[in-house]
Amino acid sequence: MMMQYSHLLEQLLAGGFICEVTDNQGFRYLQDEQQREAIDHYLRPLNRRLASNPEGTVWFLAWRELTQPLRDQLSQQFKETLDSLIPMLKLLQLTQETMGHENVLTANDILNRHDLAARIENNPSLREQLQALVQTRFFQSQSEDVSGQLKQVFDRLRSHGYLHQPHKDRHHYIVTGKIDYLIDLTRFIREEEHIYIEEDVAPSQEDLLA
Amino acid sequence: MSTLEYNSEAVKQGIERLKLLGKYSDVLMQNYYGVELDEAQAGARLVNQLLQANILWRPDEASGLKLTGPVREMIVHLIADEQRRKVNAEVGEFLVNIRLLVGKINAAEQQGHYQNSTYLQSKLSQEVDDLNSRIATGINSLWNRLNIDFAFVSTVQEKIHENEKAHSEVVRWLDGLELIDFKELIAFAGSNGGLRHILVRQLQGQVSVHFSSLREVQKRLNELMARFRQQQARNLLVRGMLQFFQQKPNFQPSDYAQRSHVVDLLNQAASVQASVSIALDRHQDKHAMQQMLAQLPARLEPSVDLPHAAPALAWQEDQTILAKRRALHEDVVSFYLNVLDQQQSQSALGYLAEAQLSWDPEIWLYQVIAEYQGLASSDKLAFRLHYDEHAAGPFNTVLIIEDVQLQLLSEGVGA
């Protein structure tokens, strides 16, 4: 039984995030508690176990028991994630604005790189935002033009597991569940640090009529 | 208000119809409380006017005139008719009509007016159909709104608002359906087979279908609401956190990984690469291995599964480093051969200058020493390496090698 899912295990061990977009079959497999237990049992000697974000939309491996060197490694890793956090949030905002989406990007959303490039190309404010984005350490691109910059951004997103490219030769990408992980992490920081966010609720119809 | 066009058709029409409401408020309020409008007394002209103005409507040919939904709603709001608002005007009214009709039917049958009873029964049947179609239309409209995710409004906030409205609609229908007391209806029907068929078999079946549809709608509305709320929270979070980071560029969160309890979100194990090699000692696999080897492409592509593209770069560097190392090794071998050819000892740095090689002197010396140490012991006997060294400083006894002399032992050089 396990043999069939050796690919899933390899992905997990290689530090991959498993969601319904990246590995639908593997993700379904992980929905079964018994299978999860089997994997956990297997991972025990490696001091690893399965972990997920609070909603269970994305799975990855966590340390089973933490030692000081492992904690230090986690601290370091968290610092690196933090460095990518602001550029990532800005990217979410940029795509939302560019596509005229009502909501922030979420897992299963489809992005077409060419479409996105064309829209940014025609809007100086979006171009500026992209320019600022590629100057961050996380996305850094030397490219002068929008399509080159966007290519770099997409390559980075793909290599960090935020985007899944179903066909290598096509330009559409699917947002993976790792974005949920990033949002959850952001929420966690917000709650831990008691960061106040002002809720500017849009006026409802009644308010407008009143 | 100055921009309002007083002469526009819509404004004129609105004023006219509001006047109609005022003029016939008596009759309309009576109708609201279930008194049927006497059409003969009111006159065809007035009836037509009220129908055209969308104040009254006729559910079907045989039934009397009724207040239209918006007018009824307006009255409910105006007089704060809590009872009706709660119990649902439509079902409440339906029940009043049913009770009235059942009474009339029973009376007609007692008096032997069977023709009248049949007529009244068809009216009752229509009343039931009427309620059914209204509930079905209501549910249909709810599904329509659900299926397009309330796309007719643009913001999440508005969608949440629409969802709440739809939800209260469902609750109102459910409350209304709860009002239908089948025990009461069974008692009404008594031994009358016709009534029993309409009120119990027909209505009960339909009501239970409506119940389950409404419950399904309610479930979907709740799911959708959860999604809307989640989206709204996400949008707010991204926007709010970016604003916060902008205001506090030097913000540093605490080091959560050092806490006694580390949440899973922050506990991400380092990656391990599961690599395997062919087990050459398993003879039973030999054939399979041969086949696999034959099928291997000339060069393995860098694994597409790995998230980083870095290995390819490192591999390239390795190649150039290897090439350099090989050149260095070859130059040092040439130096050794030169000593052999010349049959006399030579300074390593001297040779470096003489041969006009571009190696860093220190690296060169290391390589000459390493080469000597790497010689087979039989070859080693032919050479001797002499270190030109001195102490690093007056108080530091570390010896620094300035140069090495490669000497030929066969030459008989001792010192």
**Contact call for A62 and B264, based on CB within 8 A:** yes
**A127 CB contacts (<8 Å, ≥6 apart)?**
A120, A121, A146
Q: What is the mean pLDDT of chain B?
A: 81
Beta strands in B265-356 (DSSP E): 346-347
A164 and A108 share one domain: yes
Q: Chain B partners of A184 at a C-beta cutoff of 8 Å?
A: 265
The separation between the first and the last C-alpha atoms of chain A, rounded to the nearest angstrom, is 65
Look at residues A168, A129, A159, A163 and name the one whose alpha carbon lies nearest to residue A146. A129
Give chain B's length: 415
Can you tell me the distance from the alpha carbon of B202 to that of B195, in angstroms, rounded to the nearest whole number? 10
Q: Is the pLDDT of residue B413 over 50?
A: no
Q: Is the pLDDT of residue A141 over 60?
A: yes
Q: Chain A partners of B234 at a C-beta cutoff of 8 Å?
A: 103-104, 106, 183
**Contact call for B253 and A192, based on CB within 8 A:** yes
**Contact call for B257 and A75, based on CB within 8 A:** yes
Contact B368, B375 (CB under 8 A): no
User: Across residues B22-38, what is the average pLDDT?
Assistant: 83
Tokens of B1: 């208000």
**Contact call for A202 and B155, based on CB within 8 A:** yes
pLDDT tens digit sequence for A17-31: 999 999 999 999 999
Residue A206 is predicted with a pLDDT of 43
Concatenate the DSSP letters of all residues of B362-373 into one string.
HHHHHHHHHHHH
Q: Chain A partners of B154 at a C-beta cutoff of 8 Å?
A: 102
Q: In what order do the strands lie in the sheet with A163-164?
A: A110-112, A172-175, A163-164
Last residue of some domain: A10, A29, A63?
Answer: A63
A136 and A159 share one domain: yes
Look at residues A206, A12, A83 and name the one whose alpha carbon lies nearest to residue B269. A12
A29 and A73 share one domain: no
A107 and A179 share one domain: yes
Interface of B with A (CB under 8 A): 154-158, 161, 231, 234-245, 251, 253-258, 262-274, 305-309
Q: How far is CA A198 from CA A181, B143, B163, B342, in A?
A: 23, 34, 24, 86
- Looking at CA atoms only, how far is residue B240 from chain A in angstroms? 5
A21 and A125 share one domain: no
Q: Is residue A24 part of a domain?
A: yes
Tokens of B154: 């643009």
**Contact call for B307 and A15, based on CB within 8 A:** yes
Can you tell me the distance from the alpha carbon of B292 to that of B121, in angstroms, rounded to the nearest whole number? 84
Tokens 């100057």 sit on residue: A135
DSSP assigned state of A142: -
Can you tell me the distance from the alpha carbon of B75 to that of B93, in angstroms, rounded to the nearest whole number? 14
Q: Is residue A174 part of a domain?
A: yes
Contact A13, B274 (CB under 8 A): yes
- Looking at CA atoms only, how far is residue B272 from chain A in angstroms? 5
Q: Is residue A198 part of a domain?
A: no
User: Across residues B19-33, what is the average pLDDT?
Assistant: 86
Concatenate the DSSP letters of all residues of B47-116 into one string.
HHHHHHTTSEE-SSTTS--EE-HHHHHHHHHHTT-HHHHHH-HHHHHHHHHHHHHHHHHHHHHHTT-HHH
**Contact call for A75 and B234, based on CB within 8 A:** no
**Contact call for B242 and A90, based on CB within 8 A:** yes
Burial of A60 (0-12, 13-18, 19+ CB in 10 A): buried
Would an 8 Å CB–CB cutoff place A86 in contact with chain B? Answer: yes
Residue A208 is predicted with a pLDDT of 45
Q: Chain B partners of A198 at a C-beta cutoff of 8 Å?
A: 240
A30 and A134 share one domain: no
A49 and A150 share one domain: no
Residue A173: what are its φ and ψ, rounded to 5°?
-130, 150
**B114 CB contacts (<8 Å, ≥6 apart)?**
B108
In A108-147, the residues whose Cβ lies within 8 Å of chain B are: none
Would an 8 Å CB–CB cutoff place A178 in contact with chain B? Answer: no
pLDDT band at B385 (very low <50, low <70, confident <90, very high): confident
Residue B410 is predicted with a pLDDT of 66
pLDDT tens digit sequence for B193-226: 888 888 888 888 888 999 999 999 999 999 989 8
List the single residue in B154, B161, B305 with the smallest CB-CB distance to A14.
B305
Q: How far is CA A35 from CA A27, A47, A105, B228, in A?
A: 11, 18, 31, 32
Strand pairing report for B346-347 and A59-63:
unpaired
> Is the pLDDT higher at B166 or at B379?
B166
Q: Is residue A202 part of a domain?
A: no
User: Across residues A95-116, what is the average pLDDT?
Assistant: 89
The separation between the first and the last C-alpha atoms of chain B, rounded to the nearest angstrom, is 116
pTM of the shown model: 0.56
Q: Chain B partners of A192 at a C-beta cutoff of 8 Å?
A: 253-254, 256
Would an 8 Å CB–CB cutoff place A176 in contact with chain B? Answer: no
* Percent of chain B scoring above 70 in pLDDT: 87
pLDDT tens digit sequence for B249-261: 888 888 999 998 9
A21 and A116 share one domain: no
pLDDT band at B80 (very low <50, low <70, confident <90, very high): low
Q: Give the SS3 label for residue B187.
A: helix
Would an 8 Å CB–CB cutoff place A78 in contact with chain B? Answer: yes
Q: Which of A64-68, A185-189, B40-44, B86-90 has the lowest mean pLDDT?
A: B86-90
Would an 8 Å CB–CB cutoff place A209 in contact with chain B? Answer: no
CATH of the domain at A116: 1.10.10
A32 and A132 share one domain: no
Tokens of A134: 């590629």
**Sign of torsion over alpha carbons B105, B90, B152, B156:** negative
Top residue of B267, B271, B305 to mutate, by most chain A CBs within 10 Å, is: B267
Report the number of distinct structural domains present in chain A: 2
Last residue of some domain: A40, A63, A86?
Answer: A63
**B147 CB contacts (<8 Å, ≥6 apart)?**
none
**A150 CB contacts (<8 Å, ≥6 apart)?**
A113, A116, A117, A120, A130
Q: Is residue A55 part of a domain?
A: yes
- Looking at CA atoms only, how far is residue A163 from chain B in angstroms? 11
pLDDT tens digit sequence for B310-347: 545 555 556 778 888 888 888 888 888 888 888 888 88
Which residue segment(s) compose the domain that A44 sits in?
2-63
- Most confident of the following: A98-107, A148-157, B311-320: A148-157
Look at residues A14, A171, A92, A66 and name the one whose alpha carbon lies nearest to residue B271. A14
Q: Is residue A210 part of a domain?
A: no
- Looking at CA atoms only, how far is residue B246 from chain A in angstroms? 9
A82 and A177 share one domain: yes
- Looking at CA atoms only, how far is residue B50 from chain A in angstroms? 28
A43 and A107 share one domain: no
Predicted complex: ipTM over 0.95: no
- Looking at CA atoms only, how far is residue A204 from chain B in angstroms? 7
Delimit the domains of chain B by residue range. 1-77, 81-248, 316-411
A152 and A181 share one domain: yes
- Looking at CA atoms only, how far is residue B160 from chain A in angstroms? 10
> Is the pLDDT higher at B276 or at B62?
B276
